[in-house]
Structure 1
Amino acid sequence: MKTRFTTTLLVTVALAALAAHAPAMAEVKLGVAGPLTGPNAAVGEQYRRGAEAAVKALNAAGGVDGEQITLVYGDDASDPRQGVAAANELVGEGVAAVIGHYNSSVSIPASTVYAEEGVLQITPGSTNPQLTEQGVETVFRTCGRDDQQGDVAGRFLATAYKGRKVAVLHDQTTYGKGLADATKARMNGLGLTEVLYEGITVGERDFSAVVSKLKAANVDAVFFGGLHNEAGLILRQMRDQGLKAQFLSDDGTVSQEFWAITGPAGQGALVTFGPEMRDQPQAKDAVARFRAEGYEPEGYTLYTYAAVQAWAAAAQKAGSVDGAKVAVALHDGSAYDTVIGPLTFDTKGDPAGGNYVLYVWQNGKMVQLTDAQVAKLGQ
Structure 2
Amino acid sequence: MQLTTKTICQAVALALIATGAAQAEDIIKIGHVAATSGAIAHLGKDNENGARMAVEELNAKGLLIAGKKYKVVLVPEDDAADPKQATAAAQKLVDAKVLGVVGHETSGTSIPASRIYHDAGIPQISPSASNPQYTRQRYNTTFRNVANDEQLGAALARYAVQTMQVKRIAVVDDRTAYGKGLVDEFSKNVKKTGATSGAGIVATQFTNDKATDFSAILTAIKATKPDMIFFGGMDAVAGPMLRQMKQLGIPIKFMGGDGMCSDSVPRLAGEGMSDGQVICAEAGGVEPSQEKGMADFRAAYKKRYGIDVQTYAPYSYDALMTIVEAMQQAGSPDPVKYLPVLARIKHKGVTGNIAFDARGDVQDGVLTIFTFKGGKRAKLAVVK
User: Taking structure 2 as the reference length, what is the TM-score of the superposition?
Assistant: 0.89
CA deviation map 1:335-356 (0-9, x unaligned): 2122212211111111111021
Tell me what 2:41 maps to. Answer: 41
User: 2:314 matched to 1:311?
Assistant: no
Tell me what 2:312 maps to. Answer: 300
**What amino acid maps onto 1:308 in structure 2?**
L
Task: Output aligned runs, 1:99-178, within 5 Å.
Answer: 99-160=102-163, 162=165, 164-178=167-181
User: Displacement, 1:52?
Assistant: 0.8
**What amino acid maps onto 1:309 in structure 2?**
M
Preserved contact between residue 123 and residue 140 of structure 1 (Cα < 8 Å): yes
Preserved contact between residue 264 and residue 363 of structure 1 (Cα < 8 Å): no
CA deviation map 1:322-341 (0-9, x unaligned): 33432211222x42122212
User: 2:336 matched to 1:336?
Assistant: no
User: 2:259 matched to 1:252?
Assistant: yes
Preserved contact between residue 286 and residue 352 of structure 2 (Cα < 8 Å): no
Q: Once the two structures are aligned, what percentage of the paired residues are identical? A: 33
**What amino acid maps onto 1:301 in structure 2?**
A
**What amino acid maps onto 1:275 in structure 2?**
G
Moved more, 312-321 or 155-164: 155-164
Preserved contact between residue 138 and residue 324 of structure 1 (Cα < 8 Å): no
Tell me what 1:242 maps to. Answer: 249
Cα separation, 2, equivalents of 1:256 and 1:157? 22
**What amino acid maps onto 1:20 in structure 2?**
I
Tell me what 2:238 maps to. Answer: 231
User: 2:356 matched to 1:353?
Assistant: no
**What amino acid maps onto 1:124 in structure 2?**
P
Preserved contact between residue 276 and residue 368 of structure 1 (Cα < 8 Å): no
Cα separation, 2, equivalents of 1:69 and 1:14? 29
Cα separation, 2, equivalents of 1:24 and 1:163? 64
Cα separation, 2, equivalents of 1:161 and 1:340? 27
Preserved contact between residue 128 and residue 179 of structure 1 (Cα < 8 Å): yes
> Using a 3 Å threshold, how does the CA distance of structure 1 residues 141 and 103 change in structure 2: closer, same or farther?
same
Tell me what 1:196 maps to. Answer: 203
User: Displacement, 1:46?
Assistant: 0.7
Cα separation, 1, equivalents of 2:142 and 2:309? 25
SS at match of 1:19: helix
Cα separation, 2, equivalents of 1:163 and 1:275? 25
Aligned residues: 367
**What amino acid maps onto 1:325 in structure 2?**
K
CA deviation map 1:282-331 (0-9, x unaligned): 23543332222313223001000000100000011112223343221122
User: Displacement, 1:236?
Assistant: 1.3
Preserved contact between residue 166 and residue 227 of structure 2 (Cα < 8 Å): no
Preserved contact between residue 264 and residue 310 of structure 2 (Cα < 8 Å): no
Preserved contact between residue 29 and residue 73 of structure 2 (Cα < 8 Å): yes
CA deviation map 1:68-120 (0-9, x unaligned): 11111111100000101111111111111111001101100100000001011
Tell me what 2:301 maps to. Answer: 290
User: Taking structure 1 as the reference length, what is the TM-score of the superposition?
Assistant: 0.91
> Using a 3 Å threshold, how does the CA distance of structure 1 residues 245 and 326 change in structure 2: closer, same or farther?
same
Task: Output aligned runs, 1:14-25, within 5 Å.
Answer: 14-22=11-19, 23-25=21-23
**What amino acid maps onto 2:15 in structure 1?**
L
Tell me what 2:61 maps to. Answer: 61
**What amino acid maps onto 1:158 in structure 2?**
V
CA deviation map 1:247-289 (0-9, x unaligned): 1111001323322210232232111113268982223543332
**What amino acid maps onto 2:120 in structure 1?**
E
CA deviation map 1:5-46 (0-9, x unaligned): x99998766544422333431101110011011111011111
> What RMSD in Å do the two structures reach over aligned CA positions?
2.3
> Using a 3 Å threshold, how does the CA distance of structure 1 residues 45 and 365 change in structure 2: closer, same or farther?
same
Structure 1 unaligned regions, length at least 5: 375-379
2:281 to 269, 272, 278: 272
Cα separation, 2, equivalents of 1:360 and 1:219? 19
> Using a 3 Å threshold, how does the CA distance of structure 1 residues 208 and 343 change in structure 2: closer, same or farther?
same
**What amino acid maps onto 2:58 in structure 1?**
L
